[in-house]
Structures are given as structure tokens and as C-alpha cells.
Amino acid sequence: MTLFQDPDAVPRTAASRLADVLDAFGAVGDRAAGNPPGTARRKAAAAASIARAAGRPDDEARALYFAGLLHAVGAIDNAGLRRGNTLSPRLATMARWDFPADGARVCAGIAALPAEIADWVRWQAETWDGTGFPDQLRWQGIPECAQLLQLADLVARASEIDETLAIVGGLSGRTIGPEFANVFVRWFHMTGGEVEATTVPVDILKPELSQPAPVLDLLADRIDAHNNTHGRRLRIARVVDAVAERVGLAIAERDALGLATRTFGAGELGLAHAEDESFDPLARLGIAARAENATIAADLFAGNATFEHAAEVLRARAAWYDGTGQPALIHDAIPKGAQILAAAIAYDALESVHRTQIREDRTSPADRLDTAAGTQFDPAVARALLDVTKAHA
């Protein structure tokens, strides 16, 4: 399915869409790294603000915004954080040290970003005394912007900003270079520790290279790799696209569904098991878990204009057609995209189990899904899905 067809009245530029996709990438990165929601946005704004206080050129301050936003993207599919990894705690820790370098590779692959962002992300966790990671750079070997990014990290994580001042003082000469501790003090006194609301510096993205769809696909693939569900979103997207076509979903809804299909797995990041490993996809027992994952994914994209409708689809995917799911929407109150996505996810899970397990009950996934039409799934959607999958078979 072609994404971003601008069906709404206010077409958005490719760079603006890309900025939103990068915002989503950053939010998912936070989730994978175990950071509190919103850390990436706070870090982005703080990095730009501190850079200005440090007298860095405006272009650099704006580029630092995106470095802050993408600070944790390397955590998605990091070997130490990936679901099902068999590393010992010690080796998992070592693997986690690589996430800035992994993030640098992600950033380097996004052509529209200023090139220097990749290495700022790579070296954001280096420390002045050389005990940081991944490269154990030390002293002036760490680029100044990477050190500013580290200061921004302290701001983004602070529960009480006043305490950060004392923390930075205590870290001076070890984690933070003494000069940069002074920069922080200057910034603190200029701003009172308040990070001003920042307009997303879209103009720093190269418009001719701004292609949001491939970046979104990259995010989707990394989510699948992290969750150890390789290829799931592609399988589901094939079914979703065909069903959306068959039921005549409007372009705007198809766009939202396309985004939701690529990102629903973000709600499962950090969980020990995929939702359908714990519960049969057709079982009522799994409603709460599915709803929780759906809400987590939807909340990640709050305030993101491009994902506004996709978030609605994500949030409603645990609703049951008969109104007994969560949220308790019924029939047409459930966005059609959410109904399609829910059925496609369930079908994929049933298929996976059918392929890999020897069951005494050899009921086919199609037959099982059919039994849930009218209760869990919209009968029209279920019928379309069964027709589509039969045609594929």
C-alpha cells in the first residue's frame, strides 16, 4: 500500500511527514530502551536549548534536536534487549553498550538527516574520563555536540531539575568535561532549567531526500526483529492491504491502517512474551493484554500529527465487534481499520501456531477465525479476510 497519499485537506510536505516519522522512531526507541515516555522529545528540546546557550551555531542546535530525538533508536533490535535473547546478564549488558553505535547506523541510513547527527548519537554515552560506551573515547576526543547531548540526557531524565545542577557538579571531570559542566550551569542560570517549547526544526531535513515511507518500514522491521517476530508486519500488511481494498476502505483510513500495521508491535517491546504467545488470539482471556499493548503503542504517538488517526486504529484494535472487548466500542463505532488490523493479527497468529505446532485439533486458521465472526470480528471483515487468504492459498 502506498503511504502518505495526502488525502486530507492540508497536505503536509515530505520533510514534515519525515519529522513525524522520526518522532515516532524516537518514541519507539525510548520504549525499547525502557525510558519513560517522552524522553526523546524532552532530550531533543533540551539539546537544542543547551546548544544555543553554549553558543553553538543555530544549524548545529537544530541538528542536535534530531540527535536528541533519535538518541535511543539503536535500542530497537539491540542484541541485549531483543526478546528471547539467551545472553547472560553480563553479556547482555555489554551488548547494550552497543546501542549508540547501532543508533548511529540507523541515523546514517536516513539520507535526509544532516550527516553529523549519526556520530553525535554514536558518542552520546561517552564520558570525559573514558569509561563510557561504546568507544571509550575520552577528553577532547568526544565531539562537543555529543557532550551537549549527554547534558540534555540528564535534563530529560530529571525528576527535579534543580537536582540536576548538583548532579552535573558531582559528575564534572568524570562523566562530564569540566568545561561542559560550566556550560550546563550557564544554561541553567539563563533558563531556570526550563526547556522552552521548541518548534520541530523541519527545515534542517534535506527536502529532496525526505522519504518518510522507507524510514517507517525500517522502524517496522526493527520492531519485528526486536520482538523476534521476523516478517510479521509484512505478512500482516499483505492481508490488511487486500482486505482494505476488498471492503473499500477510504484512502485516509487506509493510510492510518498502513501506519498502524507497521507500528502495532511497538506495544509489545520490552515484554517477555508476544501477546499471542501468552493467549490464544481468539480467547477472551487475552483481551486485557491486547488492550494494554494497543494503548501503549497508541500513546507512543500522542501529539504526532501524522500518526493521529493511526493511534485511534491502534487503540481500538482490542475492541470486539460485539462490544465486549477493550475499549468497549461496538459495531461501527470501532474504526474499520482497527477491525481489519485485529482480524489480520489474529489470523497471522493462528497461522503461525498452525504451521509450527502439531495439534490434535486440526481445525484450520480460516475455520477458527470464521467462528469468531460476529463476536470478536466484524463479519464483513472476517469474510473479506477469509476470501483474501483463500485466494492467496
Pick the binder of another protein from 2, 140, 324, 364 (CB under 8 A): 140
* Ramachandran quadrant class, 280 (left: phi over 0; alpha: psi -120 to 50; beta: rest): beta
Residues with Cβ < 8 Å from 186, sequence gap 6 or more? 53, 54
The answer to whether 169 contacts another protein (rule: CB under 8 A) is yes
The residue range among 37-45, 100-108, 344-352, 374-382 that interacts with another protein, by the rule CB under 8 A, is: 100-108
CA angle 68/72/76 to nearest 5° reads: 150
The answer to whether 90 contacts another protein (rule: CB under 8 A) is yes
Residue 262, amino acid: R
The answer to whether 178 contacts another protein (rule: CB under 8 A) is yes
Q: Is 172 helix (H, G, I), strand (E, B) or coil?
A: strand
DSSP 84: T
Q: For another protein, which is the closer residue by CB, 98 or 280?
A: 98
CA distance 23 to 143: 24
Side-chain-side CA neighbours of 79 within 13 Å: the count stands at 14
Pick the binder of another protein from 137, 155, 218, 237 (CB under 8 A): 137
Pick the binder of another protein from 130, 270, 323, 327 (CB under 8 A): 130
Side-chain-side CA neighbours of 77 within 13 Å: the count stands at 18
In the bound complex, what is the minimum distance in angstroms from residue 172's beta carbon to another protein?
5
The answer to whether 84 contacts another protein (rule: CB under 8 A) is no
Name which of residues 182 to 221 contact another protein (CB under 8 A): 182
The answer to whether 91 contacts another protein (rule: CB under 8 A) is yes
Pick the binder of another protein from 9, 10, 89, 139 (CB under 8 A): 139
The answer to whether 131 contacts another protein (rule: CB under 8 A) is yes
Residue 362 corresponds to which cell in the numbers above? Answer: 486440526
- Residue-by-residue DSSP string for 26-47: HHHHHHHHTPPTTHHHHHHHHH
The answer to whether 134 contacts another protein (rule: CB under 8 A) is yes
In the bound complex, what is the minimum distance in angstroms from residue 388's beta carbon to another protein?
41
Which residues are at the interface with another protein (CB under 8 A)? 90-91, 93-94, 98, 101, 104-105, 119, 122-123, 129-131, 134-141, 143, 169-170, 172-174, 178-179, 181-182
